[in-house]
Structure formats: C-alpha cells, structure tokens
Amino acid sequence: MQIMRSYFRFNVFFVLLYIVSACFSGCNRDSRQHSEPNNNKVTAKTNVPDLFLSYTDSVAKLPLNRFNEAGIQSLNKAFAGKLPLSMYNGKQNNDDKSIVIQPYHNKDVSTIGAGIILLVPKSITDSLYIGDFTRHFGNIQQEKPMIGVTEQPRPVEIKLNANTSIRLTFNDNEKLALAHVTMVEVLKYR
C-alpha cells in the first residue's frame, strides 16, 4: 500500500510538472507571436533613399516649361506623404529633417536654362550614396582633374540626356561610390 501511495504521488508530481511547463511554454509562444510580425500581412516598409531617387527622377523628367515653383509644387503633392519636402522661402530654415527645394531660372545667355537644388538633410544623407545614383541614373561624367586640392571635392555630374543632367555634391570619402550625397542639382540646358 505504501508503495502504491508513493507511486501515485510520484505520478501526480510529474503530471503537475507537465501541466505547469505546458502553461509556461504556451505563454512564451503567445509572447513571441505578439512580438513577431504576422507573415500573412504585407508590411510596406518605405525605403527613403529609393523614394528620394524616384523623386529626383520625376524632377529630372519635368519639361523646361514646368521647371518652376508651380511645377515643383504639383510634384511635391504626389510625394507629400512619402518624403519630407519643403520649398525654400528666402530664409535659412532650421529644419534638419526636410529636403529643401529651390528652383531657379538663368536669365543670362548661359547654357543652363534652369535648375532645381535639393538640399538633403543629414537624416537622409547618412543612407544616400553616389553609388545609388549611378545605379539608378547611369555613369558619372568624367572631368579633367584640377590643379591643387580643395577641402571639399568638386561635384560630379551624371548626364541623363542632351538637355538634362544631375550634379551631386557629396562628403569626401575614400571611394566615390560610398560618398554620402549632401546636395542634388537637376539642370536643364538650352
């Protein structure tokens, strides 16, 4: 009888241990399910450098007659929810998170008819490389080396067609493809 009681207690102990461990493993599984994204839902994670390249491409495709503030305003409405865009209003803006846009027209007899300057904030500059532009738009136009060395490297230019090019200003880096882009200028030629 004594043996049967101890056998019963032994089995009850293991059954209770099994129930407790099953409860804890169920709780762990539930917490992992809540912390991990659901695979059934498609999560659309926006890639800011790709959006900026698409925006730059859209600016470059604008015809010369729409290459003004009104044309840029209508383009900005299409990208308003995706990129932090703001027009330059004549004074220095302390917003470090917005892409500042300034269109201009060249009234003198120059080969450049109009341009749009895009000042890239540091939050986007850190993930935007010249290599991204060359993959999206094509190769950099080769320039003759200058005599002397400047502290800041000269901008590089990507020729899109006979009437449009993109000029990139960047932070100095060992490899050009890994340099961070700080300013983009889209130029329209006459």
Are residues 65 and 15 part of one domain?
Answer: no
- Residue 65: per-residue pLDDT: 84
- Residue 51: per-residue pLDDT: 94
| CB contact at 8 A, 160 and 131 | no
Q: Which residues pair with 181 in a beta bridge?
A: 170
Do strands 112-119 and 156-159 pair parallel, antiparallel, or not at all (unpaired)?
Answer: unpaired
pLDDT digits (tens, 9 = 90+) for 8-29: 565 666 665 667 666 666 655 4
Count: domains in the chain: 2
Are residues 72 and 30 part of one domain?
Answer: no
Are residues 69 and 111 part of one domain?
Answer: yes
Are residues 113 and 20 part of one domain?
Answer: no
Are residues 182 and 89 part of one domain?
Answer: yes
Are residues 93 and 157 part of one domain?
Answer: yes
* Host domain of residue 20: 1-43
Are residues 71 and 24 part of one domain?
Answer: no
Q: What is the pTM of this model?
A: 0.70
- Residue 43: per-residue pLDDT: 31
Are residues 172 and 151 part of one domain?
Answer: yes
- Residue 66: per-residue pLDDT: 86
| CB contact at 8 A, 136 and 53 | yes
Are residues 96 and 25 part of one domain?
Answer: no
Q: Which amino acid is at 8?
A: F
Can you state the angle between helices 130-137 and 48-60, rounded to 10 degrees?
A: 50
pLDDT digits (tens, 9 = 90+) for 76-125: 999 988 999 988 877 766 667 889 999 888 777 678 889 999 999 988 99
Are residues 162 and 112 part of one domain?
Answer: yes
